[in-house]
Amino acid sequence: MAIVLGHTIHLWNVNPDTFLKNERWVRHELCHVRQYDENGFFSFICKYLYQSIRYGYTNNKFEVEARKAESA
Ligand SMILES: [Zn+2]
């Protein structure tokens, strides 16, 4: 799995090679990097958590946007 904090993509249980070869996945996580930039670091974390609690992971608008970015 991958978690983005600011401009850093943290990977768990996956090596960077595998991650980087998966274009859709990279685009997904890069979209989150952009969301940090657009919202500001703490603001994005707050909004992301709010969206997750309110709408769930799948319907979180930031995840919806990141999934769209996968095939962009
Ligand atoms: Zn995501």
* pTM listed for this prediction: 0.93
User: How far is the centre of ligand 1, averaged over its atoms, from the C-alpha of 7 (Å)?
Assistant: 14
pLDDT at 3 over 90: yes
Q: Which residues have CB less than 5 Å away from ligand 1 (the ion)? A: 63, 66
Q: Can you give the chain as a three-state secondary structure string?
A: CEEEECCEEEECCCCHHHHHHCHHHHHHHHHHHHHHHHHCHHHHHHHHHHHHHHHHHHHCHHHHHHHHHHCC
Report the pLDDT value the prediction gives residue 12, as an integer from 0 to 100: 96
Closest CA to 69 of 21, 30, 16, 18: 30
On the CB side of 26, CA atoms within 13 Å amount to 9
Instruction: Determine the distance separating the centroid of ligand 1 and the alpha carbon of 71, expressed in angstroms.
Output: 14
**pLDDT at res. 72:** 75
Mean pLDDT across the chain: 97
